[in-house]
Amino acid sequence: MRTQVAIIGAGPAGLLLSQLLHLSGIESVVLEARSRQHVEGRIRAGILEPSTVALLREAGAHARLDREGLRHDGIEIAVEGERHRIPLSELTGGRCVTAYGQTKVVQDLIARRLADGGDIRFETAALGVAEIESDRPKVVFEADGRAQELACDFIAGCDGFHGIARSGIPEAIRQVRERLYPFAWLGVLVEASPVGAELVYARHSRGFALFSLRSPSLARNYIQCRPDEDLARWPDERIFEEMRRRLEDPEGQLVHSGRVLDKSLTPMRSFVIEPMQHGRLYLAGDAAHIVTPTGAKGLNLAAADVRLLSQALIEFYRRGATALLESYSTRALDRVWKAQRFSWWMTSMLHNSPDESSFEARLHRAELDYLLASRAAMTSLAENYVGLPF
């Protein structure tokens, strides 16, 4: 079995890469260990930068996004119940973000790929990569109960943090930069009207909270908790009560109860592997980096990786040029580290950390006070939040 580009993982990165290559006449096969139902049902982030929206339009996976995506021209930051608005569009020359769940992004990309005759093999687990330093690398995968091989020109590892592609980077050159945070997010997807028309980031003495939305009748909310939190100790009403406390909304006028559709625990982790390529293997998305979700950068970083990698592969197949392929990791990591810095900064400023000193806690509060009083500081946040240009 052979293709031009073997793609491991049918998440947003792998699917978007496959579609962009298809539009340039480049063949690919996508191998995905999970079922289509599982992949299309995963609840993930939902804030898209304008560059990501433009890339989805380029891929032809934008029809529902254009109908249902919710434009956000600002965000709010609440400090002990007092809310302050940061006008993103006003501060960035009209750029904004769009609320549109990653679940829908994946569904749209799968539908587009299949409509265009794409080869996506669900329930087909990649077992490893081989011969990546040659011009005929291969992916070993399991299908029909036996190991098989997919030969190709290039391998794109888009299989997430727990995937196997990253192991193809030799230990001798692999550098892992990582930070674990002493808190997590408890998240709920709720059938209820959201707090407002824009996201609200709340810093409170009881801990951080985030109030976001997926639609006018669907809210996605988070509260800071311990990383080892037992979800069984958090019945729905306790979660709603804690949200109201952190938004200083005891009467429930802003935080509305509703049917909980999903409840999950998200650990806070920052992770980067360097380099993001070796031989004919290229990593993209969560396979190469994880950011804390505070800055809404995860899916957008994956899209940025895919844009660079697709351009490099297209250049190779059109002209035989390798300069973009050779510089892929360097160019991708430049954006990755800027996003890591922003996400770390947002996380540190808005969360109460159990291991920080009283001095550090006061510094974070001073940083927040400065942000909310300075147009220059708000502009810096807005520029990073809507996304640095591709």
The per-residue pLDDT string of the chain (390 residues; one tens digit each, 9 = 90 and over) reads 999 999 999 999 999 999 999 999 999 999 999 999 999 998 787 899 999 999 999 999 999 999 999 999 999 999 998 999 999 999 999 999 999 999 999 999 999 999 999 999 999 999 999 999 999 999 999 988 899 999 999 999 999 999 999 999 999 999 999 999 999 999 999 999 888 889 999 999 999 999 998 888 889 999 999 999 999 999 999 999 999 999 998 888 888 889 999 999 999 999 999 999 999 999 999 999 999 999 999 999 999 999 999 999 999 999 999 999 999 999 999 999 999 999 999 999 999 999 889 999 999 999 999 999 999 999 999 999 999 877
Residues catalogued as catalytic: 72, 201, 293, 297, 385
In this prediction the pTM is: 0.95
* Domains along the sequence of the chain with CATH: 5-71+96-178+269-347 (3.50.50.60)
Q: What is the 3-state secondary structure (H, E, C) of the chain?
A: CECCEEEECCCHHHHHHHHHHHHCCCCEEEECCCCHHHHHHCCCCCEECHHHHHHHHHHCCCHHHHHHCEEECCEEEEECCEEEEECHHHHCCCCCEEECCHHHHHHHHHHHHHHCCCEEECCCEEEEEECCCCCCCEEEEEECCEEEEEECCEEEECCCCCCCHHHHCCCCCCEEEEEEEEEEEEEEEEECCCCCCCCEEEECCCCCEEEEEEECCEEEEEEEECCCCCHHHCCHHHHHHHHHHHCCCCCCCCCCCCEEEEEEEEEEEEEEEECCEECCEEECHHHCEECCHHHCCHHHHHHHHHHHHHHHHHHHHHHCCCHHHHCHHHHHHHHHHHHHHHHHHHHHHHCCCCCCCHHHHHHHHHHHHHHHHCHHHHHHHHHHHHCCCC
